């Protein structure tokens, strides 16, 4: 007896839709994606959902739900502050990768970098990205400062956020400078020798400052360990705190400055 | 009359269009009457308009405090005296009290857009472009790795990282304490104090010519020092021309 097939066999598209529907309707899915998530079932582009996207996301809620219309123009901010932060994230990610292959000892450091470049998959690429990203971050923080100055964005009520910004600029330079020593090649060692000699001329505590920075009277294994800890732990820790205050103050001071 | 912010006007227009579309042919062409007198809120005008169209007999007394119920129930409850006041309104609009006159409103409405998608899209593209640039640059240009550090062999010249080369350049002109500590210290201090020194409240470029010039002079001064230190200093930190003597610069 031949069965009469009423319904045609579901097409691949229909089956896919059904699967998507059942996944999006599941309890697990709805527990992961909060209301307003674009992955949630029935997301529509409504003002309410646009607000939820920001409010209900741990990443995006750095932002306010709404921003001034002129603030989204690239020609106003040139994205410099945001790119500085983004480069910091890129540097953190690539830096963690590099930490797996690096020992901060005078006898091992250079060899570790050298073999990272030759025998680790993507080692050379990641090191290049870390290095160029660091230079780029110094540059973008500098330009961000210039941009903020030329827009008069440091004026009340944003004076203190400018001060925090100057601290962040200093910390960025220190982060870059401490990282400069770590490859332990001639370039690193002598650049740091020049830099620390200059700091040795600090009035009154000159030699003490130099001793603390170098962990001795001249650059050696102790310096490397000291600067490594500064570079991978202490300075990032401090800069993240200052960045948090910086971003928080941007919002508390009434959002981005302007329009001109 | 005070200026009505653009976004409020837009919102009112949208509400008017929506109401016109939903009430269909009973309402007159939407937007005409409100446009003639923008002080009357759109929804009140709509209400009076729809009441007018439903009650053509006229002459009854307006019941002000029940007006919404009357308007809603007018066709069904025929016995209720529904009518139009002078000018066909079911209620009279005595006045529209603007918020500024009875409340102390400090914040003026600002033209704003939603962060998603307007700002997040821009940020996403910027981050993507930045990553792509860094990625391809890193594929084609390798970071330097010179010989193993040797404390007994000083390279000539030995240079600081580029952002400190301005300071190193100053070292050729001043005592190390002045070049390495005093000048950068003063510069940093001046930067920190900038918002407290600059008392000019305006952020318009045309009002800030002095501040702009001072900053530009210093930035240029700094940039020139860094460039001289980077490209025009050779062995012994003596002046060289990069096109004649080659480049003594590593990033």
Candidates A128, A176, A221, partner chain B, best to mutate (most B CBs within 10 A): A128
Set of chain B residues whose Cβ sits within 8 Å of the Cβ of A142: 163
Here the tokens at position B129 are 């472009």
Q: What is the DSSP string of A156-225?
A: TT-HHHHHHHHHHHHHHHHHHHHHHHTT-BHHHHHHHHHHHHHHTT-TTTHHHHHHHHHTSSSSSHHHHH
The residue among A258 and A256 whose pLDDT is bigger is A256
Q: Which residues of chain B have pLDDT under 70?
A: 1-2, 24-38, 55-89, 99-106
Candidate from A125, A158, A177 with C-beta closest to B138 = A125
CATH of the domain at A185: 1.20.810.10
Average pLDDT of chain B, as a whole number: 80
Average pLDDT of chain A, as a whole number: 91
The predicted-structure confidence for A237-250, as pLDDT tens digits, reads as follows: 999 999 999 999 99
List residues bridging with A205 in a β-sheet.
Answer: none
Handedness of CA A22, A27, A30, A31 (dihedral sign): negative
Q: Which residue has the tokens 């910004």?
A: A165
Q: Which CATH class is domain B151-245?
A: mainly alpha
Set of chain B residues whose Cβ sits within 8 Å of the Cβ of A188: 149
- Euclidean distance between CA atoms B6 and B118, whole angstroms: 18
- Euclidean distance between CA atoms B146 and B158, whole angstroms: 13
Candidates B149, B172, B182, B183, partner chain A, best to mutate (most A CBs within 10 A): B149
Smallest CA–CA distance, residue B243 to chain A, in Å, is: 22
In a domain, residue A54? The reply is no
The verdict on a CB contact (< 8 Å) between A186 and B139 is: no
The average pLDDT across A90-98 equals 97
Smallest CA–CA distance, residue A144 to chain B, in Å, is: 13
The predicted-structure confidence for B189-213, as pLDDT tens digits, reads as follows: 999 999 999 999 898 999 999 999 9
The per-residue pLDDT for B24 is 61
- Euclidean distance between CA atoms B169 and B13, whole angstroms: 64
In a domain, residue A133? The reply is yes
Smallest CA–CA distance, residue A24 to chain B, in Å, is: 22
Task: Find the radius of gyration of the CA atoms of chain B.
Answer: 36
The per-residue pLDDT for B219 is 95
Smallest CA–CA distance, residue B18 to chain A, in Å, is: 16
Tally of domains within chain A: 1
* CA A181 to each of CA A162, A196, A214, B191, B213: distance values in angstroms, whole numbers, following the listed order: 30, 11, 11, 28, 37
| Contact pairs from chain A to chain B, CB under 8 Å | 211
Residues 6+ apart with CB under 8 A from A47: B114
Set of chain B residues whose Cβ sits within 8 Å of the Cβ of A90: 130-131, 134
Here the tokens at position B135 are 């990625």
Q: Could you say which DSSP state residue B65 is in?
A: G
The verdict on a CB contact (< 8 Å) between A162 and B154 is: no
The per-residue pLDDT for A44 is 87
Candidate from B116, B155, B201 with C-beta closest to A186 = B155
The verdict on a CB contact (< 8 Å) between B146 and A186 is: yes
In a domain, residue A220? The reply is yes
pLDDT band, very low/low/confident/very high, at A61 (cuts 50, 70, 90):
confident
The per-residue pLDDT for B157 is 87
The per-residue pLDDT for B110 is 82
Closest residue by Cα to residue B41 from B12, B69, B64: B12
Instruction: Give the count of beta carbons closer than 10 Å to the beta carbon of residue B146.
Output: 15
Domain residue limits at A224 = 74-252
- Euclidean distance between CA atoms A117 and B38, whole angstroms: 71
- Euclidean distance between CA atoms A105 and A246, whole angstroms: 35
CB B126 within 8 A of CB A79: yes
Set of chain B residues whose Cβ sits within 8 Å of the Cβ of A76: none
Set of chain A residues whose Cβ sits within 8 Å of the Cβ of B203: 151-153, 155, 257-258, 260
Here the tokens at position A105 are 């000892």
User: In this model, does residue A93 exceed pLDDT 60?
Assistant: yes
Candidate from A74, A219, A258 with C-beta closest to B122 = A74
The per-residue pLDDT for B101 is 67
Candidates A150, A157, A260, partner chain B, best to mutate (most B CBs within 10 A): A150
Instruction: Give the count of beta carbons closer than 10 Å to the beta carbon of residue A233.
Output: 10
Candidate from B143, B160, B196 with C-beta closest to A159 = B196
What ipTM was reported for this prediction?
0.90
Here the tokens at position A253 are 């001071």
């Amino acid at each position: 007896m031949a069965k009469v097939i009423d319904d045609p066999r579901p097409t691949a598209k229909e089956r896919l839709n059904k699967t998507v529907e059942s996944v999006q309707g599941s309890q697990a899915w709805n527990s992961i994606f909060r209301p307003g998530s674009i992955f949630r079932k029935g997301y529509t582009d409504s003002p309410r959902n646009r607000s939820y996207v920001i409010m209900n996301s741990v990443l995006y809620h750095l932002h306010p739900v709404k921003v001034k219309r002129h603030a989204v123009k690239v020609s106003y901010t040139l994205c410099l502050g945001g790119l500085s932060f983004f480069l910091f994230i890129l540097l953190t990610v690539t830096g963690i990768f590099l930490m797996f292959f690096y020992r901060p000892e005078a006898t091992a450091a250079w060899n570790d970098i050298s073999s990272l470049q030759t025998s680790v998959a993507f080692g050379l690429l990641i090191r290049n990205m870390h290095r160029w990203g660091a230079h780029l971050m110094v540059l973008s923080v500098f330009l961000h400062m210039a941009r903020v100055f030329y827009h008069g964005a440091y004026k009340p009520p944003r004076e203190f956020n400018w001060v925090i910004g100057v601290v962040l600029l200093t910390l960025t330079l220190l982060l870059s400078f401490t990282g400069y020593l770590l490859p332990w090649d001639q370039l690193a060692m002598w650049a740091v020798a020049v830099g620390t000699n200059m700091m040795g001329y600090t009035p009154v505590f000159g030699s003490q400052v130099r001793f603390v920075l170098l962990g001795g009277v001249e650059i050696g294994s102790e310096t490397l360990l000291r600067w490594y800890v500064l570079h991978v732990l202490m300075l990032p820790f401090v800069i993240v705190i200052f960045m948090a205050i910086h971003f928080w103050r941007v919002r508390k001071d009434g959002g981005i400055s302007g329009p001109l | 009359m005070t200026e009505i912010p653009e976004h409020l006007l837009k919102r009112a227009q949208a509400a008017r269009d929506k109401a016109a579309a939903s009430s269909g042919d009973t309402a007159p062409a939407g937007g005409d009457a409100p446009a003639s007198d923008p002080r009357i809120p759109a929804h009140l005008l709509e209400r009076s308009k729809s009441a007018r169209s439903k009650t053509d007999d006229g002459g009854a007394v307006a019941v002000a405090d029940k007006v919404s119920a009357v308007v809603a129930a007018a066709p069904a409850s025929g016995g209720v005296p529904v009518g139009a006041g002078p000018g066909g309104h079911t209620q009279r609009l005595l006045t529209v009290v603007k918020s500024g006159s009875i409340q102390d409103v400090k914040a003026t409405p600002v033209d704003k857009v939603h962060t998603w998608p307007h700002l997040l899209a821009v940020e996403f593209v910027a981050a993507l472009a930045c990553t792509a640039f860094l990625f391809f640059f890193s594929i084609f240009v390798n970071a330097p790795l010179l010989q193993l550090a040797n404390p007994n062999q000083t390279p000539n010249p030995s240079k600081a990282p580029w952002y400190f080369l301005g300071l190193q350049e100053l070292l050729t002109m001043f005592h190390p304490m002045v070049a390495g500590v005093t000048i950068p210290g003063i510069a940093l201090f001046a930067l920190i104090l900038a918002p407290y020194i600059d008392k000019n409240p305006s952020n318009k470029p045309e009002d800030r010519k002095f501040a702009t010039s001072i900053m530009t002079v210093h930035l240029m001064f700094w940039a020139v020092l860094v460039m001289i230190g980077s490209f025009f200093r050779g062995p012994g930190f003596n002046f060289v021309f990069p096109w004649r003597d080659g480049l003594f610069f590593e990033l």
